[in-house]
Amino acid sequence: MEWIQQLVNGISLGSIYALIALGYTMVYGIIKLINFAHGDVFMLGAFIGFYAISRWEIGFFPALIISMVLCAIIGVIIERVAYKRLRSATRIAALITAIGVSLLIEYTVIFFRGASPEAYPEVLPKSSINILGVNISSISILILAVTIVLMILLQFIVHKTKIGKAMRAVSLDADAARLMGINVDNTISATFAIGSALAGAAGVIFGVYYTRIEPLMGVLPGLKAFIAAVFGGIGSIPGAMVGGLSLGLVETVVSALGFSLWRDAAAFVILILILILKPSGIFGKNTREKV
């Protein structure tokens, strides 16, 4: 029965990784950039949710939506200000810029509010539900439900809407997409907006679940979500979902087996194994390097 509880914990953690990993993978898919500032957007999302809940005294769902909207805007600003001019620059220049943006966000937050952690207000009732004789916290179930809804919504946007089709077209062949009349710049911005909104949602969920947030909280989950995206096959949306959930489960299992000090190492071991055994990831297509 202990195991079922661990499974639930793993899924909750994995949902957070998956939501962050989606933004990594979508941005990589469309401009081949590993946006290392993405974990910091997740952190901003957590803080936006925190201030929304504690200052304006609003509930979980309004805070979630406010955080998603503001993170979407922040993501677009980051793209327009920092990355857009680097479209034809070398990949390493863009990567270094992303690391710069990441540090800028982290230390701007520290500059304005200090580095001290914050305790997330309790917005959700601390009840639990009995399923098959196991008590599962309602927060876990809510996290899972929100994640599933967001993922279904994302699948719908990507596969059924015009902007989603444009996003896929641009990621496959930007010039051919231009010839269809697709505005590539706007499509890239939309991708950042959607990915950042998901990171914002992950931030609020993280805050509610783990109750402690701080300005550097995005670093490790960001890195792990990136690993999850690579594990799933970078550029693949289902890959990011599966990669995130798997990583959450693996980490929880490693902890539950009594190796909690090794928890963080597990992710990196997975990364190394993937890079050796199947660099394209589980859902990855054979890497077609564009020249």
| Residues forming the site for another protein (CB under 8 A) | 162, 165-166, 168-169, 172-173, 175-183, 285
CA distance 209 to 64: 13
Rounded to a whole number of angstroms, the minimum distance from the CB of residue 182 to another protein is: 6
Q: What is the enclosing helix (H) or strand (E) of 160?
A: helix 138-160
Rounded to a whole number of angstroms, the minimum distance from the CB of residue 177 to another protein is: 8
Nearer to another protein, 29 or 45 (CB): 29
Rounded to a whole number of angstroms, the minimum distance from the CB of residue 88 to another protein is: 11
Nearer to another protein, 190 or 247 (CB): 190
Rounded to a whole number of angstroms, the minimum distance from the CB of residue 160 to another protein is: 10
Nearer to another protein, 26 or 182 (CB): 182
Q: How far is CA 253 from the centre of its chain?
A: 21
* DSSP type of residue 273: H
Rounded to a whole number of angstroms, the minimum distance from the CB of residue 280 to another protein is: 14
Could you tell me the two tokens for 103? Answer: 């540090």
Question: Cβ distance 164 to 33 under 8 Å?
Answer: no
Could you tell me the two tokens for 201? Answer: 């949602």
CA distance 212 to 209: 9
Rounded to a whole number of angstroms, the minimum distance from the CB of residue 141 to another protein is: 35
Could you tell me the two tokens for 290? Answer: 């564009």
Nearer to another protein, 22 or 225 (CB): 22
CA distance 232 to 41: 21
Nearer to another protein, 145 or 172 (CB): 172
Rounded to a whole number of angstroms, the minimum distance from the CB of residue 166 to another protein is: 7
How distant, in Å, are the alpha carbons of 141, 252, 254 from that of 257?
24, 9, 5
How distant, in Å, are the alpha carbons of 40, 126, 210 from that of 2?
34, 19, 19
Question: Cβ distance 202 to 44 under 8 Å?
Answer: no
Could you tell me the two tokens for 248? Answer: 């959450």
Nearer to another protein, 181 or 258 (CB): 181
Nearer to another protein, 20 or 169 (CB): 169
